[in-house]
Amino acid sequence: MIITQIVAVSTNNYIGKDYQLLWTLPNDMRHFKNKTWALPVIMGRKTFYSLENKPLMGRLNIVITRQKDYSAPGITVVQSIEEAIEFCKQQDFKEIMIIGGGEIYKQTLPICNKLFITRVHAVLHGDTMYPEINPEEWNLTFEENFESDAKHEFAYSFQTWERVEL
Ligand SMILES: NC(=O)c1ccc[n+]([C@@H]2O[C@H](COP(=O)([O-])OP(=O)(O)OC[C@H]3O[C@@H](n4cnc5c(N)ncnc54)[C@H](OP(=O)(O)O)[C@@H]3O)[C@@H](O)[C@H]2O)c1
């Protein structure tokens, strides 16, 4: 099973502030929807909160929390990352998408094979960071660059990174 992280991250590795993103990039929202459509999306409880506790349509929403009595309509609740992965394996998914946030990205990076990173070309400050990627462990296999425009306040690049095979 391919385990993929999908994230949008500033030049200096920030991903959010006060439960929100640091930018408005509609093309990245479309990219996120296309890449995750029909796949399981695994997220931390705080990222689910940042989605106003509403599941993403057309995808199996799995929310990780340590709380024993947590529930919300339209989601599957699990109490560990291992449980989330096992649940998806049992359902025979070929790829799962880790959609954040900072805590979940950091803990799952060692078990991921692929990263879809939207690099937002701006130095911005938030309260949540994406972990540092070790360039010896990852190959950049795809990159598409976009300038800022009337609808996109910053330039950005869609990147695919794949784990170096040892
Ligand atoms: N730019 C992007 O692409 C992007 C994507 C997603 C999110 N974000 C941003 O990231 C921020 C949220 O990230 P965050 O790091 O604060 O929180 P998070 O990773 O979304 O969620 C953290 C929560 O997940 C649960 N959790 C974490 N590790 C766990 C484990 N090993 N076992 C069981 N439960 C575990 C805990 O929930 P409980 O406290 O309930 O136990 C923890 O409080 C927001 O600002 C959001 O907007 C940005």
Q: What is the DSSP string of 93-138?
A: -SEEEE---HHHHHHHGGG-SEEEEEEE-S----SEEPPPP-TTTE
Domain membership of residue 82 as a residue range? 2-163
- Counting the structural domains of the chain, the total is 1
Ligand 1, residues 51, 64, 157: which to mutate, most atoms within 8 A of Cβ? Answer: 64
- CATH number at 90 reads 3.40.430.10
- Give the pLDDT confidence score for residue 126 in this predicted structure: 98
Q: Are 120 and 23 in contact (CB under 8 A)?
A: yes
Distance CA 74, CA 72 (A): 7
pLDDT band at 165 (very low <50, low <70, confident <90, very high): confident
- Give the pLDDT confidence score for residue 76 in this predicted structure: 98
- Give the pLDDT confidence score for residue 166 in this predicted structure: 76
- Give the pLDDT confidence of 76-128 residue by residue, as tens digits: 999 999 999 999 999 999 999 999 999 999 999 999 999 999 999 999 999 99
Ligand 1 closest atom vs CA 6? 3
Percent of the chain with pLDDT over 90: 98
Residue having the nearest C-alpha atom to atom 36 of ligand 1? 65
β-pair partners for 7? 117
- 148 CB within 6 A, ligand 1: no
- Give the pLDDT confidence score for residue 77 in this predicted structure: 98
**Which has the closest alpha carbon to 19: 117, 127, 156?**
127
- Give the pLDDT confidence of 25-49 residue by residue, as tens digits: 999 999 999 999 999 999 999 999 9
- Give the pLDDT confidence score for residue 15 in this predicted structure: 98
Ligand 1 closest atom vs CA 79? 33
38, two tokens: 């029909």
